[in-house]
């Protein structure tokens, strides 16, 4: 009997009809049996402020606990202004504190960026990776996932198009192997 | 009679005793007569969400108006997890929207990063600069300002030490020239 | 009678049929009357080594002199391995030395990245911009130029397609204004 | 009997008295018994040019073969102009070609940056990491190694100071574990 790994999925957009959220949900369906993906919500996290973290808001505590209870972390994010959206970076910051007690540490990770344009969120993808170095999140290198043309990923029924599905399947299968390699 | 330019100063830390805020205030004092620095607060900006921006929160409107009423923008920021703090990136994102109506566009800018460690916020400084390319904020290149050892910038009375002041004076004087060059 | 500015154009690929070289030549034709573009060759520069720079090779001297005799610098580059090609970075390094005597300093610059794929050399473009901060090359922010699909830029006769020309025309016109603003 | 892994060490400076080379040699001495470090020379690699790679120069062939015969790769580099030295980037480019036949692929890696100044080569370190994503070199995240104040790393007899040695010992021990985890 093989181990099942829980993956905290962080989505970088709060928009209800977010393409990134849809990609995250599609990945949850495509994931092999040993990976269980679950979106961790970040929209209610107060902007990080060390002063209020002396007595942390409930939302900080819940978020950190969800991370600590996960075996791995997966980021699905748009690019805002050539970098990581503030809302996602704020979640990174909240999870990284208090100093010396980061909830991210050692959890194997991967990054997918999804954008409407052609560049596919390259800037957000690599800025996020720079933070993951500090956070000691070993990050899958290949396949890189810069997904442009977000509007054409799904058909009129909200299903992944045949053009997109094989890539996401490969991505999540390789990520499962990465997660397994980095346990223990 | 020469022109006076108003500079919106954005501080990347919400901490009450933030070194970055102190550096911002010190710069306001050191600034030559033709630059008027004013901190623009970002701690009350709701996390950016396109859905709520259909009918923008008051805090969004106020912030954008403050930017539009300024002639230039100056960023003073710590580094969180090798990048721009979420709170500052969120302000960048709010100011950049709605799509096509960015409030940052064309305003001459500069970046100072201040951190307790030796590296001086290099990662935050350059990630922010990448966003400024997209935002069409012409950014002063030299002097670069990676200010490490934040704890020793001020003496016991909260005054800039003699070691720090000349550098900040040079910085703000050069910035004044940069702002002037980029008007009109 | 208006001033004419000489622009040193650095092409990041040595390939004879390089798309980047073709784009550089196309820009030279499109440039307004007050900009004179000239490609500065970098293929014969020995790999930078401080030890040999005590008595600099002729190629170093020539290159540095060409930069010093120019009023501005323009980079047209592919992306190699998500960053600046080694050959271009080597030219940057040679031009930046000896220490304290950089030949790049203060010359207004701009960056175009050209690649066969969709991402358009984003990684090379921004890594190069990071170096330009240190080199004190004030760098035009907009329009950003990430030119993907390089193979379809030119028609069968080697002429710019109608799809590409207007963008390059806008780019070089705005750059001319940037160069003018940064003289003196 | 445990496996011994051969590590190709790439040093980003050609200077004879390079601090980076000295750090590389010190790491070779500190390495645990299952890691065998060997510097791979890059100073004779012609600037990468796809045209000459049709019939590759002997130096290209030798370098690629050395990489393919190694189990892992370690980079020790200074920062030139806030990025990777051209000489090192050229080696990256040579090793990555011909297209589809990269010699770097899958080899576990790590990055140390060494510089005279305080910032410790942060810019070079992270630009290099961005290339390693594309090259599918899984890269150790912690400990990060931004080694500033290079001149004081060694005593007058060229021995590592007591201040420096424990960090490098930790680094190479953790890297040995990283290499082992990423075999097979």
Preceding amide of D98 cis, omega within 30: yes
**Shortest Cα distance, chain C CAs vs residue A123, angstroms:** 8
Q: A86 and B93 in contact by Cβ < 8 A?
A: yes
Model pLDDT for residues C113-140, shown as the tens digit of each residue: 999 888 899 999 999 999 999 999 999 9
Q: Residue D184: its pLDDT value, please?
A: 76
**Residue B142 with chain C: CB contacts under 8 Å:** 133, 136
Contacts of C122 in chain A (CB under 8 A): 119, 122-123
Flag whether residue B154 sits within 8 Å of chain D, measured between CB atoms: no
Which whole-number Å values give the CA distances from B11 to A36, B92, B111, B112, in the listed order? 40, 11, 10, 10
Q: What is the pLDDT of residue C22?
A: 96
All residues of chain B having their beta carbon less than 8 Å from the beta carbon of residue D148 are 118
pLDDT digits (tens, 9 = 90+) for A150-162: 888 999 888 899 9
Confidence (pLDDT) at B95: 98
Cα angle D13-D15-D21, degrees, rounded to a multiple of 5: 60
What stretch of H or E contains A60? helix A58-68
DSSP state of C155: -
Instruction: Scan for tokens 């790393």, then name that residue.
Output: D153
Q: Which of D118, D122, D148 sits opposite B123 (nearest CB)?
A: D122
What class, spelled out in words, does domain A5-181 have in CATH?
alpha beta
pLDDT for residue A42 is more than 80: yes
Give Cα A36 to chain centroid, integer Å.
14
Asked if residue D123 has pLDDT above 90, the reply is: yes
Which of B27, B13, B70 is closest to B172 using CA atoms?
B27
SS3 B38: strand
- Whether residue C1 is predicted with pLDDT greater than 70 in this model: the reply is no
Q: What phi-psi label fits residue B121: left (phi over 0), alpha (psi between -120 and 50 degrees) or beta?
A: left
Q: Which chains touch B (3 or more CB pairs under 8 A)?
A: A, C, D
The whole-chain average pLDDT of chain C stands at 96
Is a pLDDT exceeding 90 seen at residue A92? yes
Using a CB-CB cut-off of 8 Å, the residues of chain B touching C132 are: 141
Task: Region of B66 please: left (phi>0), alpha (psi -120 to 50) or beta.
Answer: alpha
pLDDT digits (tens, 9 = 90+) for B103-144: 999 999 999 999 988 889 999 999 999 999 999 999 999 999
Q: Which chains does C contact via 3+ CB–CB distances below 8 A?
A: A, B, D
Residue ranges of E strands in A12-167: 35-39, 72-77, 109-114, 146-147
Closest-CA distance, B158 to chain C, in angstroms, reads 31
Query: Which chain A residues are Cβ-neighbours of B80 within 8 angstroms?
Result: 48, 89, 92-93, 96
Q: Which residues of D touch A181 (CB under 8 A)?
A: 181-182
**pLDDT (average), residues A28-50:** 98
Q: Do A138 and D133 touch (CB under 8 A)?
A: no
In which band, very low, low, confident or very high, does the pLDDT at A93 lie, cut at 50, 70 and 90? very high
Cβ–Cβ gap C80/D48 under 8 Å? yes
Shortest alpha-carbon distance between residue B126 and chain C (Å) = 7
For an interface test with C, give the residue of B113, B128, B133 to mutate (most C CBs within 10 A): B133
Contact yes or no for D137 and A137 at CB 8 A: no
Instruction: Output the DSSP codes for chain D.
Output: ----EEEEEEES---TT-HHHHHHHHHHHHS-TTEEEEEPP-TTPPPP-TTGGGS--HHHHHHHHHHHT-SEEEEEE--BTTB--HHHHHHHHHHH-STT--SSTT--EEEEEE-SSSSTTHHHHHHHHHHHHHTT--B--SS--EE--GGGSB-TTSPBPTTTHHHHHHHHHHHHHHHHHT--
Q: What is the mean pLDDT of residues B79-85?
A: 98
Distance CA C143, CA C170 (A): 8
Cis peptide before C53 (omega within 30 of 0): no
Top residue of D75, D112, D138 to mutate, by most chain A CBs within 10 Å, is: D138
Interchain proximity D136–A141, CB inside 8 Å: yes
Calculate what percentage of chain D has a pLDDT beyond 90. Answer: 89
Q: Which residue has the tokens 């001297």?
A: C61
Please report the residues numbered 120 through 139 in chain B whose beta carbons come closer than 8 angstroms to any beta carbon of chain D.
120, 122-123, 126
CA distance B3 to chain A (A): 31
- Positive or negative, the CA dihedral C47, C53, C55, C58 is positive
Residue D131 pLDDT > 80? yes
For residue B42, what is the nearest residue in chain A, using CA coordinates? A47
Q: Rounded to a whole number, what is the distance in Å from the CA of B139 to chain D's nearest CA? A: 17
Q: What is the mean pLDDT of chain A?
A: 96
Contact between residue C48 and residue C20 where contact means Cβ atoms under 8 Å apart:
no
Nearest CA in chain A to B83: A131
Q: Please tell me if residue A22 touches chain B, with a CB cutoff of 8 Å.
A: no
A chain contacts of residue B15, beta-carbon cutoff 8 Å: 49-51
Chains touching chain D through at least 3 C-beta pairs below 8 angstroms are A, B, C
Query: Is the pTM here over 0.90, yes or no?
Result: yes
The answer to whether residue C142 neighbours chain B at the CB level (below 8 Å) is yes
Q: For residue A134, what pLDDT is reported?
A: 98
Put simply, the answer to whether B85 touches A48 (Cβ < 8 Å) is yes
Is C119 within 8 Å of A119 when comparing Cβ atoms?
Answer: yes
CATH class of the domain defined by D5-179: alpha beta
A14 and B47 within 8 Å at the Cβ level: the answer is yes
Give residue C97's pLDDT. 97
On the question of pLDDT at D67 being above 60, the answer is yes
Contacts of B126 in chain C (CB under 8 A): 130, 133
Give the distance from residue A65's alpha carbon to the nearest chain C alpha carbon, in angstroms.
35
Lowest pLDDT segment from C56-60, D56-60, D78-82, D161-165: D161-165
Which of these, D18, D17, D38, lies nearest to D27 by C-alpha position? D38
Write out residues 65-84 of D within 8 Å (CB-CB) of B: 82
**Chain D interface disruption, residue of C21, C63, C86, C91, most D CBs within 10 A:** C86
| DSSP string across B85-143 | -HHHHHHHHHHH-STT--SSTT--EEEEEE-SSSSTTHHHHHHHHHHHHHTT--B--SS
pLDDT band at C158 (very low <50, low <70, confident <90, very high): confident
Contact D119 B120 (CB under 8 A): yes
Predicted pLDDT of residue C126: 98
In chain C, where the domains are located: 5-181
Best of C105, C125, C137, C141 to disrupt the B interface (most B CBs within 10 Å) is C141
**Residues of chain C with pLDDT > 90: what percent?**
89
Task: Specify the 3-state DSSP secondary structure of B66.
Answer: helix
Q: Which of A13, A82, A126 to mutate to test the interface with B (most CBs of B within 10 A)?
A: A82
Task: With a cut of 90, say whether residue A13 has pLDDT above it.
Answer: yes
Classify burial at B38, counting beta carbons within 10 Å of its beta carbon; exposed 0-12, middle 13-18, buried 19 or more.
middle
Mean pLDDT of D49-64: 98
Q: Which residue of A has its CA nearest to D105?
A: A142
For residue A119, give how far its alpha carbon lies from the nearest alpha carbon of chain C (Å).
4
In Å, the largest CA–CA distance within chain C is 50
User: Is beta strand A5-11 parallel, antiparallel or unpaired with respect to A72-77?
Assistant: parallel
How distant is the Cα of D102 from the closest Cα of chain C, in angstroms? Answer: 11
CB atoms within 10 A of CB C97: 18
pLDDT given at position C184:
76
Which of B118, B122, B148 is the closest to D123 by Cβ? B122
pLDDT of res. C157: 87
**Distance, CA of C105 to CA of C101 (rounded, Å):** 9
Give B-chain residues touching C180 at CB under 8 angstroms: none
Q: What is the average per-residue pLDDT within B166-174?
A: 97
Residues of A within 8 A of C127 (CB-CB) are: none
| pLDDT at residue number C117 | 84
pLDDT attached to residue B23: 97
CB atoms D123 and B120 under 8 Å:
no
Q: Which of D79, D111, D116, D119 best probes binding to B when mutated, by most B CB atoms within 10 angstroms?
A: D119
Residue B163 binned pLDDT confidence (cut-offs 50, 70, 90)? confident
> Which of C114, C117, C122 to mutate: most A Cβ within 10 Å?
C122
């Amino acid at each position: 009997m093989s181990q099942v790994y829980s993956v905290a999925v962080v989505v970088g957009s709060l928009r209800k009809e977010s393409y990134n959220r849809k990609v995250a949900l599609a990945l949850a369906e495509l994931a092999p049996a040993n990976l269980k993906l679950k979106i961790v919500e970040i929209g209610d996290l107060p902007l990080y402020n060390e002063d209020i973290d002396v007595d942390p808001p409930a939302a900080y505590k819940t978020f950190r606990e969800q991370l600590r209870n996960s075996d791995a972390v997966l980021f699905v994010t748009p690019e805002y202004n050539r970098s990581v959206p503030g809302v996602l970076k704020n979640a990174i910051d909240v999870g990284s504190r208090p100093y010396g007690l980061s909830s991210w540490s050692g959890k194997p990770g991967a990054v997918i960026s999804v954008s409407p344009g052609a560049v596919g969120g390259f800037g957000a993808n690599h800025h996020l990776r720079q933070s993951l170095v500090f956070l000691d999140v070993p990050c899958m290198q290949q396949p890189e996932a810069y997904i442009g043309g977000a509007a054409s990923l799904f058909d009129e029924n909200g299903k992944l198009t045949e053009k997109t599905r094989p890539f996401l399947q490969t991505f999540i299968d390789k990520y499962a192997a990465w997660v397994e390699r980095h346990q223990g």
